[in-house]
Amino acid sequence: MDTTADLLKTPLHSLHLELGARMAGFAGYDMPIQYKMGVMQEHLHTRANAGLFDVSHMGQILIRANSGNVRDAALALETITPVDVADLKPGRQRYGLFTNDKGGLEDDFMVANRGDHLYLVVNAACKHDDLARIEAALSDTCEIEAQFDRGLIALQGPAAEG
């Protein structure tokens, strides 16, 4: 079992401690799993309103086509995922999958069209494998930039939109 000293820390780690979070290991990171309100109250609040979640442990990857055309980056990504990315409108995102040679699921991700590039969020435990998969398939036609050192916050719940 990993000790707290062995775990990686997100950019928001000290804030979580300052706010009294109960921390635990997750995907190699020391992550907040509960605050003073308690898990059930946090859950109900998020379901009724909104909640912020530190997901900085997840991998963020930018993909830019060498041509400068985001559609070319999308078409390149489509060679390694069974997801329609080319028709994704700027400012929108969609759920995607990485599969193996037999069509079995390897990992899932979110992809957003940011107008001039694609932005992927991949799972923490697989982020280095996912990056290697993307680089192996797309590096001839795209610039791939891992941003594994950046913070990432998810806002979830019905009050999150608008």
pTM of the model: 0.88
Tell me the two tokens of residue 94.
């969609």
Q: What pLDDT is stored for residue 48 in this prediction? A: 96
> In which band, very low, low, confident or very high, does the pLDDT at 9 lie, cut at 50, 70 and 90?
very high
Domains annotated on the chain, with CATH = 4-56+151-160 (3.30.1360.120), 59-146 (3.30.70.1400)
Alpha-carbon separation of residue 37 from 20, 42, 49 (angstroms): 10, 6, 15
**Of the listed ranges 59-63, 70-74, 94-98, 157-161, the one predicted with least confidence:** 157-161
Confidence check: pLDDT of 143 > 80: yes
